[in-house]
A and B are shown apart, each in its own frame.
Chain A
Amino acid sequence: MTVRSETTSSTVEAVWRIESARLIATLSRLTNDVGLAEDMAQDAFLAALEVWPESGVPDNPAAWLMTTARNRGIDRIRRDRNLRDKYAALAGELERAEPEPGPERAVFGEERIGDDVLTLLFTACHPELTTESQVALTLKVLGGLSTEEIARAFLVSKATVSQRIVRAKRTLSESSVPFETPAPDEMGERLGAVLGITYLIFNEGYSATAGESWMRTELSAEALRLGRIIAGLAPEEPEVHGLVALMEIQASRFPARIGEDGEPVLLMDQDRSLWDRLLVRRGLERLDLARAQGGRGPYVLQASIAAVHARAARPEDTDWDEIVSAYDELLRLAYSPVTALNRAVAVAMAGDPESALAEVDELATDRRMREYHLLPGVRGDLLARLGRGEEAAEEFRRAAEMTRNEKERRLLRRRAGDAIRRR
C-alpha cells in the first residue's frame, strides 16, 4: 500500500472530463458564444495543468475552473482588439458574474446547469453545421475529448479535426446562432438531430466503416455516455430512452463480436454467454420505460428488435415474427431500403426464405442500394439457404469486393468458400 499524493496531468484530465461540459455550457450562456466559451474553458484547463500538480486539486474544482476561465476570458477580451470591439460589454458582465460562495457545488446557479448543457448539445448539433463538424464539436465540448483523441478515434489527422472545430465555431458565430433552446415547434426535429449524431458516433465505433479495425469501442462508450447524459436532461422523451436502450443492448454484444482469431462473429453465431448481462438488463429496463411513456418511434422500435435477440437464450429461441412486425412498423414510420433489407432477413429467419429472396431481388433494383455491400451479402445468405451454392458464392464474392472493412472482407470470402463446399 502506498498513499497516492501526486496530482498528475491524468488527474487534471479526469476532473476535466467530469466538469468541462458544465463549464463550457455555463460560459456559453454568459457569453452567448460557444466558440469563445470553449476557448475560455480551454485556458482554464491549461491553467489547471500548470497549477494543480503543485497545489493539488482544489476542494471545489468546478468553482476554480469557472473563476479561472472567467478571469482569463476577461484578460483575453481586453488584450485582443478584435475581441474587445465585439465583446466590450461582455467583459464587464463577466466581472459582475461572481461565483456564488458557500456550498461546494453551487457555481453560478447550479439549477440552470442542466438546461445549459442541453442547450450546448442543441447548439453543437445545429443544422447550420456539417455532420462532421457536429460530431467533432459534440465530442469536444460535451465529451471533453481532446482534438487528438477525436482524430485518433476517426482515423483522421489532428489538423483535420481542429479545422472542423474551428469551422464549426466560425459558422455558429457568422450565422449568429443564439445560445438558446430550440422553439417548441422545432424541438422534435432538433432533438432528432442530437440523437442522430449520438447514434452516428456509436455506430462509428460499433462497425468501423473503414480500415482494419472492426470495432472502436471507445467511441461507442463515448456515445453511450452521451446518450445517458441526454436521458438525464430530457427524461420525458421516449426516443432518448429508446436510443440508449438500443445502444446498451448492442454494446452488450461487444465481448462476443470478435472471435479468438480476431475475426468478426455474426449475431447468430455469437457465444451468448459472453454478452454483457448488466448492459442487457439495463437496456431492457430502459426499453420498458420508453414503452411505458408511449414511445413507438424509430429508436424504440429498433431497440425492441434488439431486445428480442437479447431475450433469446439460444439463436433458435428468437421470436422472428415479432421482429418482422417491428420492422413493418418501422417501415411505415420511415421507409428505407436498408430497413427493408433487414426485414427480408427476418422473414427468411421466420421460415420463408423464398419470399425473402423475392423481396431482396426487388430491393436490388433500388438505385440507392447499388453500392451497399450488405445486399449481395444477404442475397448470398438466402441463396445458400435455398441450396443454390454457386450463385450464393458469387454474391458473397461481390459483397467482399464492395466492403471497405478488411475483416468483413475476409469473412465474406470465407462464406463464399463455404457456400460452394456445402452444396
Chain B
Amino acid sequence: MRCMVFVKATADSEAGLMPSEKDLSEMGAFNEELVNAGVMLDGGGLHPSSKGVRISYSDEGAQVTDGPFAEAKELVAGYWVWEVKSVDEAIEWARRIPFNHGESVEIRPFFEAEDFGESYTDEMKERDAALDAKIQEQRQD
C-alpha cells in the first residue's frame, strides 16, 4: 500500500530557518535507507506558508489568499510517499525518522482501486472467497 507521510510545520520551519548541517546529513542517511529498502517513492520539502497561497471556493467563485497562515501544526512543511505493506510498517519506519525537536508527521494511506465502487468490492470479495476455497482444497492433498 502507498502512504503519504506529511511532515508538519513548526515555528522554525515557518520562520524559514534551514536545518543544520548535522540534521541534513542525518536526514540524508535516513532517506538513503528508505530508498535502499524499496520504501521511498517520492519526497520533498516545502517553503514556509509565507510563500504559499490559499484558494477557497464558494458559489461566488474562487478566492485567493496570500500566506503566511496561522497555526503551524496545521501546515505542511514536507512530505514523503512510501510504499509499505501495512500502516504498521509505515509507523515503524516513521519511528526511525531522525526528528527530535518537537516535529510531528502524519501518515495517510492513499485510496486504492479496491477502495472504490460497490461492484468492484463485491468482485474482490468473490475473488478472495474463491481463492480461499482453492487454498482449502489444496491443503487437503
Do A and B assemble together?
Answer: yes
Binding site for B on A (CB under 8 A): 4, 8, 10-11, 13-15, 17-18, 57, 114, 151-152, 155-160, 211-213, 221, 224-229, 232-233, 254-255, 258, 260-262, 278-279, 282
- Total interface residues in chain B, CB < 8 Å: 30
- Whether the Cβ atoms of B37 and A18 lie closer than 8 Å is yes
B38 touches A225 (CB 8 A): yes
Tell me if B88 and A14 are in contact (CB < 8 A).
yes
28 A-B interface contacts by CB (under 8 A): A10-B88, A11-B91, A11-B92, A13-B88, A14-B85, A17-B85, A17-B89, A18-B89, A18-B92, A18-B93, A114-B36, A155-B135, A155-B138, A156-B138, A157-B135, A211-B130, A211-B134, A212-B127, A212-B130, A224-B38, A228-B35, A228-B36, A228-B37, A260-B117, A262-B127, A278-B42, A278-B81, A282-B42
Using Cβ atoms and an 8 Å threshold, which residues of chain B touch A156? 138
Residues of chain B contacted by A254 (CB below 8 angstroms): 113
Contact of A157 with B38 at beta-carbon distance under 8 Å, contacts A17-B89, A255-B113 already known: no
B139 CB contacts on chain A under 8 angstroms: 157-159
Partner of A157, one of B39, B93, B95, B141: B141
Q: Given B38, B39, B86, which contacts A10 in the complex, CB threshold below 8 Å? A: B86
Task: Specify which chain B residues have a CB less than 8 angstroms from the CB of A262 in the assembled complex.
Answer: 120, 123, 127
Once bound together, how far apart are the Cα atoms of A1 and B87, in whole Å?
16
Q: Which residues of A contact B37 (CB under 8 A)?
A: 18, 225, 228-229, 232
Q: Are A278 and B123 in contact (CB under 8 A)?
A: no
Is B14 located at the chain interface by the 8 A CB criterion? no
In the complex, the chain B residue whose C-beta lies closest to that of A13 is B88
Q: Which residues of B contact A10 (CB under 8 A)?
A: 86, 88
Contact of B134 among A155, A255, A261 (CB under 8 A): A155
A15 touches B92 (CB 8 A): yes
Q: Is the CB of A229 within 8 A of B134?
A: no
Cβ-defined partner of A14 (8 Å) among B42, B91, B117, B123: B91
The answer to whether B119 and A260 touch across the interface, beta carbons within 8 angstroms, is yes
- Cα–Cα, bound, A118→B134 (Å): 35
With a cutoff of 8 Å between Cβ atoms, the chain A residues found around residue B120 in the complex are 260, 262
Which chain A residue shows the least CB distance to B119? A260
A212-B85 Cα distance, complex, nearest whole Å: 24
Cβ of A45 to closest chain B Cβ, rounded Å: 14
* B residues near A157, Cβ cutoff 8 Å: 135, 138-139, 141
In the complex where A11-B88, A152-B135, A225-B83 touch, is A232 in contact with B130 (Cβ < 8 A)?
no
Q: How far is the CA of A254 from the CA of B83 in the complex (A)?
A: 15
Chain B 88-141 interface residues, beta-carbon cutoff 8 Å to A: 88-89, 91-93, 95, 113, 117, 119-120, 123, 127, 130-131, 134-135, 138-139, 141
Which listed residue (B86, B88, B93, B131) contacts A155, Cβ 8 A? B131
From residue A252, how far is it (CB to closest CB) to chain B in Å? Answer: 12
**Residue among B83, B88, B135, B138 with the most chain A CB within 10 A?**
B88
Pick the 9 closest A-B CB pairs, nearest first: A232-B36, A228-B38, A225-B38, A14-B88, A14-B89, A262-B123, A14-B92, A10-B88, A157-B139
B20 to chain A, nearest CB (A): 18
Besides the known contacts A14-B86, A155-B138, A278-B81, 19 further A-B residue pairs in the complex with CB atoms under 8 A apart: A10-B88, A13-B88, A14-B88, A17-B85, A18-B92, A18-B93, A157-B138, A157-B139, A211-B131, A213-B127, A224-B83, A225-B39, A225-B83, A227-B38, A229-B36, A260-B120, A261-B123, A278-B42, A282-B41
A151: which B residues are within 8 A, CB to CB?
A: 135
Rounded to whole Å, the gap between the CB of A143 and the closest CB of chain B is 10
Smallest beta-carbon distance B90→chain A, Å: 8
Q: How far is the CB of B50 from chain A (nearest CB, A)?
A: 29
The chain B residue with its CB closest to the CB of A260 is B119
Q: Give Cα A259–Cα B122 distance, bound, in whole angstroms.
A: 14
> What's the nearest-Cβ distance from chain A to residue B44, in Å?
12
B92 to chain A: closest residue by CB: A14
Instruction: Report B-chain residues with C-beta under 8 Å of the C-beta of A212.
Output: 127, 130-131, 134
Residues of B within 8 A of A227 (CB): 38
A213 to B1 CA separation, bound complex (whole angstroms): 19
- B10-49 vs A: 1/0 string, CB under 8 Å? 0000000000000000000000000111110110000000
The answer to whether A213 and B38 have CB atoms under 8 Å apart is: no
Once the chains are docked, how many angstroms separate the CA of A155 from the CA of B138?
A: 8
- The residues of A that contact B141 with a CB separation of less than 8 Å are 157
CA distance A4 to B88 in the complex (A): 11
Residue pair B83, A221 in contact (C-beta under 8 Å): yes
* Alpha-carbon separation in the docked complex, A4 to B130 (Å): 35
Shortest Cβ gap from A236 to chain B (Å): 14
Most buried by A among B37, B85, B88, B117: B85
